[in-house]
Structures are given as structure tokens and as C-alpha cells.
Amino acid sequence: MTCVNRARDALLGALIDGRYRIRTLIAHGGMSAVYLGVDIRLDRPVAVKVMDPKYAADPQFVARLEFEARAVAKLKDPGLVEVYDQGVDGDCAFLVMELVEGGTLRELLRERGPMPPHAVVAATSPVLGGLAAAHRHGLVHRDVKPENVLISDRGEIKVVDFGLVRAIADSGLTSASVILGTAAYLSPEQVASTSADARSDVYAAGILMFEMLTGRTPFTGDTPLALANQRLHRDVPAPGDLIPGVPDELDEVVLIATSRDPAHRYPDAGVMRAELDAVADRLGLPHFTVPAPSRSAEHRSAHNLRTGLAGAVPIAADDAPTTTRFGADPATVKVPAGGHPPAAVDPRSPRQHTRMETGTSRRSGPYPAPALAGGATAMYTGDAAEAIPSPSLTRAADDYPERRRRSRRRTAIVLVLVVVLAALLGLGGWWLGSGRFTRVPQITGMDRVAAERAITAAGLTVVDTPTFHDAAPAGEVIGADPAPGAQVTRAGRVRLQISAGRPTVPVITPGSPVTAVQAALRERTLRGSVAADGVPSAYPRGTVVSVSPTSGSSMPVDGSVTMTVSSGPAPVRVPDVTGRDRDDAVRLLEAAGLRVGAVRSTYSAAEDNGRAIRTDPAVGSRVESGSTVQLLSSNAITVPDVTGLDYSAARDRLQDAGLIAEDGGESSSGTAPAGTVTAASPSFGSRVDPDDPTVRLLISDSSTVPDVTGTTVTTARDKLERAGFAVSVQGLTRSGVSLVVAQSRREGQRVRTGSTITITAIP
């Protein structure tokens, strides 16, 4: 199959990869086109994204697309569009995904404009859930924006196009359309260094919330580069500063998510979702099902397929025309297709909020169709086209009396209609004028009970809002929103501002992040600043150790609280572990707050095998707690004592100890019997370097002269000969039973074997 130089509708009816039949075009942009297709093997509808042919020719892009598709296909989460397949057919690089029947968040914003807080939470939470599932597996989306958030007709919200931007960026073929599509949502670190992690997706999710709340993105620029660079030097404003009705807690979520410093954001989408859901619970926001856009590209494609107009080309995502926004104002306002309000409109105007319907999404009208032959006009209502022909006009001649009677009847009908219309106009004028409205009563200075009673009597609903105040005692009414005297619709809601007294410094848990402490202080109208110098502590570096004034102290509204942060644990001294066995040395070092790296062995003549020799850093050095210390232990081999063993047995003992025996010759020293080991070099008990393990053994050539006096000549001869000596007998008799009275060598003397010992005997 080839995609080169083919119109996008030329793929209609084509079979990609022998499996996916292309039915109709859903949408297209600068990099790809999305088609409604059918998996003919499983007989199920699918969405097929076909990339621009230039990407299929790039091996690096194809490899990256395959890697990212495999990674995303392993993820299972209701907030993610499932990836079924990917591949290259000829020069068509394609991705097969779950078909979401509905539309994009961008299309919904174009149709309806800004969304109320409960709808924003309902749309954002599943998006964060899908991103969190990816973050847990080490994946980053890098291109979170309304175009990549799909809303199904059943109210499901899913994130699509994971990894596509990474694949395109790695290919080296990145086009201007990629920058235009993502510049408004790029995090500062992506602009500065192109690096991205889970916190980059958190930033984009914060921008997404900002746009849903206000109908616009926080920054504007003449070029994508100028737009992207603004976030390096400017903070994202709170949505509540641009449009009324945004709770402070929701502003706080957006501000933390869009912090310029990634370290101050939520660490990943899972943490952000937990905080957003907690805020929704605290605010009591109702459950809401986000409706799919009624005029989405997917709906148009499905309609065209049913009505035989499958060849009709949907509007491109980046070329959509100006659309009509429906708001609280009866008049309609033209806004650009990107969802940004015109510059002349005050962003604080409540008319820019659009009521979101909780039921089935409402279509604003039928789709216009071309004129048919014969003057008929086809109107597409979403089901079928109905032709309405223009009839020929004929007039029959009536007689004069009949025309008079018909004229009087018409006059009577007209008069009745005029009267009814006048009554309806009067009733409508009353309802649109004074009848529909009431005024907020004067309640300033009342206690809470009296104020609530007065507001309820005026037909309004009361919502208490505790507000810190320096002068008003706790429980006193200090104001209302709308203000007393303001005209509001009947059954409207009035926020009653009740004094909570002066704020107090909240209880701070040591070791809390600076951002968490600042958020707790802001909840009490207090400002937190970090002290210039940190203090050593057992808490992680950069976390809050204490605050001044202390917790519980009374403060003025907008008062300042100083936070002292930890500089990390205090330095520790490296203990002396010399001579200790390795395990004992490791325990002592870890008990001192140090980490032991890989233990290295080396030769030491001073320490036995396995004993600690030294540390690096050296003993007594002051190092940061938690630092890694290198431990060196001895690998010396101690020469065993083999005195008195014959050479063979001695050699075996040395080999068992890891040493090599070498014959060192004979020696007359020592006390070992002749022919046995009498000495060694190095000496017994010394420590030998395993790199030089040779030991020279010295064999005794002498024996100890035994004491034979007082024995018979026969006994003496036997003992001396067994000791290796020759025997000579002298005296008055040489009989074997004669008594030996003297010997030529004294008892215990070491004499070379073979020497003659003379004994003296008497009868």
C-alpha cells in the first residue's frame, strides 16, 4: 500500500495490513489523519491513525513508534484509549486504537465555552487517572491538551496519543504544526531543555484546568516560540482572577500544578488527582457526567457513513472555523475555534460562563445541506435528509361574499392572537423584570442565625463561608456575596461571610514540604517565607522544621510566618573500626549514620584475614550523615604451624590454607624429629600476602639424644638406633645384659643422625 501523494479520502475502502478496512475520515491535521475503520478479523470498529508518509520513511520514527505503542498497549486504565496494533504497510505508518464514539474536549470547549467547577473536576479527574497509570510505569505523555482528551457519548473520558510526540521528536522530522499544537501547554523545562517527566504532564493538566475554567489559555504570543517562552518568566495566574465563581481551593490546585519550578508541583498525576478529588469533596461539588460534543468530527463521520456521504472530509483539527458559543446571555458571541474569547470581552464578565447540561447533550440545530434540484432543500437532522419541494402557486377565483366572510374570520383570529400575545408579553416582561428577581437583604453586623433567617425569608439559599477577620468577633456576619442590596434571581444562592476571628498559625508537622506548609498558611490568610539559614536536623533537607511565630499563635490577616527549613542531618565522625571483623565494622559504621559501600580487600601484615584495616575517609573525619564510606579489610593468610610433620603432610596443610609449599633444605635447629619439618620461612604464625603465597619448609636432619643410662646394653642400643644413631659399647664387659653407666652425648642434645653414640657398661 502507498500513502504518498494520495488524497486523504483516497484511502477510503482500502485494506491496511490485510486487516483494517478504512470506512470514513474522522479528522486530519498536519502530521496524521484519523479514520473510522473495521478490524475484519474481529469484526469490531476501530480508529486508525495514519501518519504522514514522511514519517514511515524514517527508521528512527518507526522504531520509536513501535516501542511507545508496545509500552502503552500494556497499560489498562479507564482513562486511557487502548492501543490495539501498530505497523507500517508500504509507506503508511499506522496506529490502531479503541474507537471512542463522541468527540474531543477541544470540540466541547468550542461548542460551550468555559465550564463550571463541578464539570471541570469531572473532566479532569479521569484524565489524571489515565496519566497516573502511565506515570506508575515510567511513561510520560508530553502532549496533554484538549485535542488529546476524548469524551464518549456514554460520558467516558480518555487520554489518547501517548508517546506520539516523543516518537516524532526523536525522528528529527518535527514540523511547525507540532510546535503550534503543543506550545500553549508546554512546561517551562520542556521549553528550556526539551526534557520531560511526570511533572511536565502535571503542568499541562494544570493548563488544561485553567482553560476549562476560563475559556482561554494563560499566555498569548505572536509566535509559538514567544508563547512558549512566556512561561519561563511568568507565573500562571489563578483562574479566579480572570473569571468569578472559581473556588479558592480549585485555584490552589491549578497554581501548584503550574508552578514554574517542577519541585513545587505535584510529583505525578496520581497525587494531583487525589488532591483534586479531596477538594471536590470539601466543596461538596455534585457528581457530573461530561457530555460529548454534539458536532464532533466523529459524529459527522458516523452520520456521513450512515447517509452515504462517507467521502465528505471533516474539518481539520487545526483549521476549524469560528464557532458559536452559547452562554447565559441570550445573544450569541463569536469566538475563535481554539476556544479563546475575543480580546474585547472582559474576562471577568459572568456572561462568559456557560451552563453545562447534566442530561443528554443538546444539539444547537440541524446541519445545512446543499440545495437539491427543483428548489428542494435537504436538512440533516442527524438521522436522514428530508427533501421539501417548492410547490407551484395557484389561486382559485372566489365569489365576493365568501371572501368577506373569510376576511372577518381572519380579523377575529388576529385580534385574539394580539390579545394573547400582549398578555404573554406582559407576563414575560414581569418575569424578566421584577418578578424573576429579588434583593439580598441587609444582614451586615447580624449574628449568623439572624442573617440566615433573613436570607431564607427572601427566598434565597444560604451558604456559610467562614472568613478570617482582624476586628469582627467570631460568628459575626461581615458580608455576603452577592452584596446586600444586590438584585439576584429568586432561589439564588448567597454566600454568607462569617467572621472566623483572627487567624492562628496552624500546627505544622516537622519534615513537611515547604509547599504544603505554605498552602496550610494560605488557607488561614497567612503568608509563609523561608528563613535565610537552615538548621541541621534528622528531617530531609529542604523540609520545614519549625515556624515562627509558633503554632497556635494569633496573627493578623495577611500576616507573615517564617519557616525554618532543615539543612539535613548534622555531620558525623568516622569511627575507628581497625582490627574488628568485617561484619562488626559494618555495624559500627552504620550505627554512626554512615553507609558502607562495597568492602574492598587488601593485604596487611598487621591484621588477620577478614579484619578491618582502615576506612576512606579516614578515621575521625567529619562527613555528612548518610555519606558512603569505603571499608578495607585484610586478606592476609596466616602460616599454619606444621612442626613435626613430614614434608608431604606439611605441604597438604599449607595448600589447604591457600599457600604453596617449597622444600627449603635441611636444618639442625629445632626439636622436631629427623625427617620432619622443623621450621619455615616465612615463620609459622606470620601473615602472608595472597599474591605471594610461597612458604619454604626446613626439614630436620638431627635427633634428640635419649637418656640410656641405667638400662641394659641391649635396651640402650635399641633406643639409640631408633633415634638414628650408631652405637659403640666400651667397658669391662660387652654383654647385652650389662648395665650402662655412661653415654658419650648427653641426654637431650641435638645430634646429626648417623652419628655414633658411645655407651659405657659394667657387668
Residue pointed to by grid coordinates 520514527 = 61
Whole-number Å distance between alpha carbons of 679 and 735: 41
Mean pLDDT in residue range 199-210: 97
- At 568-593, the pLDDT tens digits run 877 888 999 999 998 899 999 988 88
Mean pLDDT in residue range 82-105: 91
Which of residues 524, 551, 568 is at a domain's end?
Answer: 568
Of 435-444, 607-616, 750-759, which gets the smallest average pLDDT? 435-444
Q: Is the same domain home to 114 and 217?
A: yes
Most confident region among 298-307, 413-422, 482-491 by mean pLDDT: 482-491
- At 235-287, the pLDDT tens digits run 999 999 998 889 999 999 999 999 999 999 999 999 999 999 999 999 999 99
Mean pLDDT in residue range 723-744: 85
Indicate which CATH number applies to the domain containing 611. 3.30.10.20
Mean pLDDT in residue range 64-75: 82
**Does residue 747 have a pLDDT over 70?**
yes
Which of residues 595, 618, 635 is at a domain's end?
Answer: 635
**Does residue 558 have a pLDDT over 90?**
yes
Per-residue pLDDT band for 363 (boundaries 50, 70, 90) equals very low
**Does residue 211 have a pLDDT over 90?**
yes
What cell was used for 110? 468550542
**Does residue 388 have a pLDDT over 60?**
no
- At 163-194, the pLDDT tens digits run 554 545 544 444 444 443 467 899 998 888 76
Q: Can you give the pLDDT at residue 517? A: 94
**Does residue 296 have a pLDDT over 90?**
no
Q: Can you give the pLDDT at residue 30? A: 66
CB atoms within 10 A of CB 686: 14
Per-residue pLDDT band for 678 (boundaries 50, 70, 90) equals confident
Q: Is 601 part of any domain? A: yes
**Which residues are identified as catalytic?**
143
Instruction: Assess contact for 225 and 180: CB atoms under 8 A.
Output: no
Query: Is the model more confident about 29 or about 433?
Result: 29
Most confident region among 16-20, 604-608, 702-706 by mean pLDDT: 16-20
Q: Can you give the pLDDT at residue 365? A: 33
Q: Is the same domain home to 648 and 608?
A: no
Q: Is 359 part of any domain? A: no
Q: Can you give the pLDDT at residue 597? A: 87
Report which of 130, 128, 121, 125 is spatially closest to residue 98, judged by C-alpha positions: 130
Q: Is the same domain home to 115 and 220?
A: yes
Query: Is the model more confident about 574 or about 418?
Result: 574
Residues near 432 by beta carbon (within 8 Å), at least 6 away in sequence = none
Q: Is the same domain home to 487 and 522?
A: no
Q: Is 198 part of any domain? A: yes
Q: Is 357 part of any domain? A: no
Per-residue pLDDT band for 724 (boundaries 50, 70, 90) equals confident
Which of residues 672, 700, 728 is at a domain's end?
Answer: 700
Query: Is the model more confident about 709 or about 671?
Result: 709
Of 183-187, 368-372, 537-541, which gets the smallest average pLDDT? 368-372
Counting residues of the chain whose pLDDT is more than 70, the rounded percentage is 79
Q: Is the same domain home to 161 and 274?
A: yes
CA distances from 688 to 290, 336, 465, 633 (A): 80, 86, 83, 15
Q: Is 417 part of any domain? A: no
Whole-number Å distance between alpha carbons of 598 and 596: 7
Q: Can you give the pLDDT at residue 696? A: 92
Q: Is the same domain home to 172 and 215?
A: yes
Most confident region among 21-30, 436-445, 662-671 by mean pLDDT: 21-30
Instruction: Assess contact for 95 and 48: CB atoms under 8 A.
Output: yes
Domain that holds residue 15: 8-98
Mean pLDDT in residue range 648-670: 88
Q: Is the same domain home to 605 and 558?
A: no
Mean pLDDT in residue range 469-492: 85
Q: Is 431 part of any domain? A: no
Instruction: Assess contact for 24 and 12: CB atoms under 8 A.
Output: yes
Whole-number Å distance between alpha carbons of 157 and 266: 22
Mean pLDDT in residue range 194-214: 93
Report which of 116, 115, 120, 144 is spatially closest to residue 132, judged by C-alpha positions: 144
Q: Is the same domain home to 145 and 192?
A: yes
Q: Is the same domain home to 168 and 269?
A: yes
Q: Is the same domain home to 172 and 276?
A: yes
Query: Is the model more confident about 415 or about 129?
Result: 129
Q: Is 336 part of any domain? A: no
Whole-number Å distance between alpha carbons of 364 and 418: 30
Indicate which CATH number applies to the domain containing 38. 3.30.200.20
Q: Can you give the pLDDT at residue 436? A: 63
Entry pTM? 0.44
Mean pLDDT in residue range 439-444: 84
Amino acid (1-letter code) at residue 586: V
- Helix, strand, coil in percent for the chain, rounding step 5: 30, 25, 45
Q: Is the same domain home to 160 and 227?
A: yes
- SS3 for 92-134 is EEEEEEECCCEEEHHHHHHHHCCCCHHHHHHHHHHHHHHHHHH
Q: Is the same domain home to 578 and 462?
A: no
Whole-number Å distance between alpha carbons of 717 and 712: 8
Q: Can you give the pLDDT at residue 179? A: 42
Q: Is 520 part of any domain? A: yes
Q: Residue 532, class by beta-carbon neighbours within 10 Å (0-12 exposed, 13-18 middle, 19+ buried)?
A: exposed
Residue pointed to by grid coordinates 487567624 = 503
Is the backbone peptide bond immediately before 482 cis, with ω within 30 degrees of 0?
yes
Domain total of the chain = 7
What cell was used for 741? 653407666
**Does residue 349 have a pLDDT over 60?**
no
Instruction: Assess contact for 29 and 311: CB atoms under 8 A.
Output: no
Residues near 189 by beta carbon (within 8 Å), at least 6 away in sequence = 195, 196, 200, 262
